[in-house]
Amino acid sequence: MQKAFSYRFYPTTEQESLLRRTLGCVRLVYNRALAARTEAWYERKERLDYVQTSALLTQWKKQDDLQFLNEVSCVPLQQALRHLQSAFTNFFAGRAKYPNFKKKRNGGSAEFTKSAFRWKDGKVFLAKCNEPLNIPWSRRLPDGVEPSTVTIRLNPAGQWYINLRFDDPRELTLQPVDPSVGLDVGISSLITLSTGEKIANPKHFNRYYKRLRKAQRSLSRKQKGSRNWDKARLKVAKIHQKISDSRKDHLHQLTTRLIRENQTIIIESLAVKNMVKNRQLARSISDAGWGELVRQLEYKAQWYGRTLVKIDRWFPSSKRCGQCGHIVERLPLSVREWDCPKCGAHHDRDINAARNILAVGHTVTVCGAGVRPDRHTSGGQLRRSRKSQK
Q: What confidence tens digit (pLDDT) does each residue in 262-278 have? A: 999 999 988 888 888 88
For the question of residue 64 being annotated catalytic, the response is no
60 in Cβ contact with 29 (< 8 Å): yes
Question: Which residue is catalytic, options 64, 268, 292, 348?
Answer: 268
- Tell me, what's the pLDDT at 271? 86
- Characterize the bridge pairing of strands 264-268 and 307-311: parallel
CA angle (268, 273, 279) in 5-degree steps:
110
Integer-rounded Cα Rg, in Å, for the chain is: 25
Q: Confirm whether 168 is a catalytic residue.
A: no
Q: From the candidates 65, 184, 298, 374, give the one annotated as an active-site residue.
A: 184
Report the pLDDT value the prediction gives residue 365, as an integer from 0 to 100. 64
146: annotated active-site residue: no
Sign of the Cα torsion 215, 220, 224, 226 reads negative
pLDDT at 363: 77
Q: How far apart are CA 70 and CA 372, in angstroms?
A: 58
SS (H, E, C) the chain: CEEEEEEECCCCHHHHHHHHHHHHHHHHHHHHHHHHHHHHHHHHCCCCCHHHHHHHHHHHHHCHHHHHHHHCCHHHHHHHHHHHHHHHHHHHCCCCCCCCCCCHHHCEEEEEEHHHEEEECCEEEECCCCCCCCCCCCCCCCCCCCCCEEEEEECCCCCEEEEEEEECCCCCCCCCCCCEEEEEECCCEEEEECCCCEEECCCHHHHCHHHHHHHHHHHHCCCCCCHHHHHHHHHHHHHHHHHHHHHHHHHHHHHHHHHHHCCEEEEECCCHHHHCCCCCCHHHHHHHCHHHHHHHHHHHHHHHCCEEEEECCCCCCCCECCCCCCECCCCCCCCCEEECCCCCCEEEHHHHHHHHHHHHHHHHHHHCCCEEECCCCCCCCEEECHHHHC
How far from chain centre, in Å, is Cα 201? 19
110-161 confidence digits (pLDDT tens): 999 999 999 998 999 999 998 999 999 999 999 889 999 999 999 999 999 9
What is the per-residue pLDDT across 153-201, written as a single tens digit (0 to 9) for each? 999 999 999 999 999 998 999 999 999 999 999 998 999 999 999 999 9
Q: Tell me which of 64, 143, 329, 350 is the catalytic residue.
A: 350
Average pLDDT, the chain: 90
Span 8-61, pLDDT tens digits: 999 999 999 999 999 999 999 999 999 999 999 999 889 999 999 999 999 999
